[in-house]
Amino acid sequence: MTKLDAKIPEGPLHNKWSFYKSNCNLVSPANKKKFDIIVVGTGLAGASAAASLGELGYNVKAFCYQDSPRRAHSIAAQGGINAAKNYQNDGDSVYRLFYDTIKGGDYRAREGNVYRLAEVSNSIIDQCVAQGIPFARDYGGLLDNRSFGGAQVSRTFYARGQTGQQLLLGAYSSLSRQVAKGTVKLYPRQEMLNLVVADGKARGIITRNLITGEIEKHSAHAVILATGGYGNVFFLSTNAMGSNTSAIWQAYKKGAFFGNPCFTQIHPTCIPVHGEQQSKLTLMSESLRNDGRIWVPKNKEDADKLKNKTITANSIKEEDRDYYLERRYPAFGNLVPRDVASRAAKERCDAGFGVNNTGLAVYLDFENSLKKLGKHVIEERYGNLFQMYEKIVDVNPYENPMMIYPAVHYTMGGLWVDYNLMTTIPGCFSMGECNFSDHGANRLGASALMQGLADGYFVLPYTLGEYLSKELKTPKLSTDNNSFVESEKEVKTRIEKLMSIKGKHTVDHFHKLLGKIMWENCGMGRNEAGLVKGIELIKELKKEFWKDVKITGETTEFNTELEKADRLANYFELGELMMTDALNRKESCGGHFREEYQTQEGEALRDDENFTHVAAWEFSGEDKTAILNKENLEFKDIDLKQRNYK
């Protein structure tokens, strides 16, 4: 087992980051110009990093698979971004944000990283306001806040239901400014298909030009991966259609360890599945739980009548409604963390109290708030979400309660990184959702935006300098170098192999089957038998895929089927690793719920003695079982407790 060094600075928790910043090595302005940096992904983490590094004077190349950096899926984040400003005078502090995040993550995140995250959160808000992001304000002209799950303070800043959009466009604006200045060059419609490692260091990437199909080689002194989550392994998720794991998966196969792959967040409030043709799921922001109450009928007969559509939700009397979150968790009520809310919904639906024709939905009801606050207030707070719901479901949520059900939303797992955000491959960094570091086994609402921007604006610009300060004598690497040629060959071989199969079934056919296996065996509830079976099923399906997939068109053209097939090939391998990790973690924590390990009340039961660690998986060869490495998590400032939201 490799010994993993997280490189957390010495000293008390609240001094670690300032100590690091005061003592880390720097790169002089003249030398920064000599360094080429590749940033893959232009979401909050990637765009903010590329812009900040450009400002510092590095030569930055920014890649994204979309047609513009502004499309990255951070744009779809609705609810808000957390910061410990304590503008509301309700008792918030950096320590409390840190504490809530560690607790929300069920004590499976690293103290040092999370404290730093909470510490820089305030600077993010300052930065974003200065960029001209139109956050919501109160009548005095000051910034407004709302509440989110897992916290008892109001610390979430928001821009209607489009906070992610506004923050991303802010980062995109800063990035665009650097593009105009010539410090950043954009490479849109390019997908990273391999990482180039030379002399043990990350030195470049291989990409496919998605318009021409050409395979390109790009060299640099460091490669920063900010490619988001891998929730699409489940086929149906709230991720964008193009969101994929390819970049981090190829980095994994080149030696970057993969941390806690099984930690998946199932978001409690999504629009339920409509049928077989469904291509993705739509989230309804967690912020709705501020004013909406979640319920199902108390009586099964009512649930059955609702399924048959013989009665409507509005006809069920108040006393016949079971506000099960308020009942089970009186202290946090509808604002319990996401994993808890999702499991509670599943529990009610499994017990036969679910609604909708499928029985797989619960109500999110605004009746009380509409009466108390008036329609105009609800409209102002959630207008765009209500409109979105009505367009998709064709039901007016001002008159009828929304129907929601949990869906795959976020992946806490990702590439293992140290305090510098560097993977186990020197020079290869990982930021935002595609690393594992800050959210433990469950992410709190409004913390993903915080992490993406913290990493990109305020962490990486320092830690990258620390790495590059030792690379001053490393010359640029020609793309004719053998390591580039080899990596390019790997990609070309894989593509040719895929194209030559000429089987019978489409890529989506296989992807849907994989998604079903993942959802059934590695979803909201997991158990040993299911996981063992799941791994076998994936192996079989993977074989089938490599024998029988049908990809039309040519390699040297715009070919979305080929893009999807290559992504799916990686998902098979990742899915297997997720299940292996889930099988190995014999405890329940956060979003990882092993049915064998639960309290009498059905809450997650951790095993701190044996599992207070990060599972960092190491690639050991094609079709071989990955090697498990452990980073023990030390909690010096927080006592490990059973999470209690009652």
Partner 1 sequence: MNLTLKIWRQKNAKTKGKFVTYKIKNVSEDSSFLEMLDQLNEQLISENQDSVAFDKCPVAFDHDCREGICGMCGLYINGRPHGPDLGITTCQLHMRKFKDGDTIVIEPWRAKPFPLIKDLVVDRSSFDKIIQAGGFVSINTGSAQDANAILISKKNADLSMDAAACIGCGACVATCKNASAMLFVAAKVSQFALLPQGKVEAVERVKNMISTMDELGFGNCTNTYACEVECPKLISVTNIARLNREFIHAKVIAEKERQISGGF
Residues catalogued as catalytic: 338
Task: In angstroms, give the least distance from the CB of 231 to partner 1.
Answer: 13
Q: Is 392 in the site for partner 1 (CB under 8 A)?
A: yes
Distances 287 to 116, 161, 293 between C-alpha atoms, Å:
25, 8, 12
Q: Which of 12, 330, 352, 553 binds partner 1 (CB under 8 A)?
A: 553
For residues 55 and 607, which CB has a smaller minimum distance to partner 1 in the complex?
A: 55
Q: Report how far residue 75's alpha carbon sits from residue 559's, in angstroms, rounded to the nearest whole number.
A: 25
The one-letter amino acid code at 172 reads Y
CA angle 146, 524, 639 (to 5 degrees): 60
Interface size with partner 1, residues (CB under 8 A)? 84
Binding to partner 1 (CB under 8 A) within 193-222 occurs at: 211
Burial annotation 415-445 (CB, 10 A radius, 16+ → b, else e): bbbbbbbbbbbbbbbbbbbbbbbbbbbbbbb
Binding to partner 1 (CB under 8 A) within 120-149 occurs at: 123, 125-143
Q: Which helix (H) or strand (E) holds 194?
A: strand 190-198
For residues 28 and 68, which CB has a smaller minimum distance to partner 1 in the complex?
A: 68
Binding to partner 1 (CB under 8 A) within 489-518 occurs at: 502, 506, 508-509
The 3-state secondary structure of 80-120 reads CEECCCCCCCCCCCHHHHHHHHHHHCCCCCCHHHHHHHHHH
- Other beta carbons within 10 angstroms of residue 130's beta carbon come to 9
Binding to partner 1 (CB under 8 A) within 54-73 occurs at: 55, 66-73
Q: Is 391 in the site for partner 1 (CB under 8 A)?
A: yes
Residue 226 near residue 456 (C-beta atoms within 8 A): yes
Q: Is 407 in the site for partner 1 (CB under 8 A)?
A: no
Q: Is 605 in the site for partner 1 (CB under 8 A)?
A: no
> The tokens of 547 are what?
């024998």
For residues 69 and 259, which CB has a smaller minimum distance to partner 1 in the complex?
A: 69
Binding to partner 1 (CB under 8 A) within 274-303 occurs at: 274-275, 277-280, 282-283
Task: In angstroms, give the least distance from the CB of 107 to partner 1.
Answer: 31
C-alpha dihedral, 535 to 537 to 543 to 545, nearest 10°: -120
Q: Is 558 in the site for partner 1 (CB under 8 A)?
A: yes
Q: Is 561 in the site for partner 1 (CB under 8 A)?
A: yes
Binding to partner 1 (CB under 8 A) within 217-276 occurs at: 238, 240-242, 274-275
User: Residue 59: beta bridge partners?
Assistant: 36
In the shown chain, the binding pattern of residues 143 to 182 toward partner 1, with x for contact by CB under 8 A and - for none, equals: x---------------xx-x--xx--x--xxx-xx-xx--
Q: Report how far residue 646's alpha carbon sits from residue 642's, in angstroms, rounded to the nearest whole number.
A: 11
For residues 48 and 59, which CB has a smaller minimum distance to partner 1 in the complex?
A: 48
For residues 287 and 479, which CB has a smaller minimum distance to partner 1 in the complex?
A: 287
For residues 163 and 521, which CB has a smaller minimum distance to partner 1 in the complex?
A: 163
Q: Is 554 in the site for partner 1 (CB under 8 A)?
A: yes
Residue that has been written with the tokens 């580039």 in this structure? 484
For residues 22 and 277, which CB has a smaller minimum distance to partner 1 in the complex?
A: 277
Binding to partner 1 (CB under 8 A) within 346-375 occurs at: none
Residue 225 near residue 455 (C-beta atoms within 8 A): no
The one-letter amino acid code at 126 reads D
Q: Which of 4, 45, 50, 75 binds partner 1 (CB under 8 A)?
A: 75
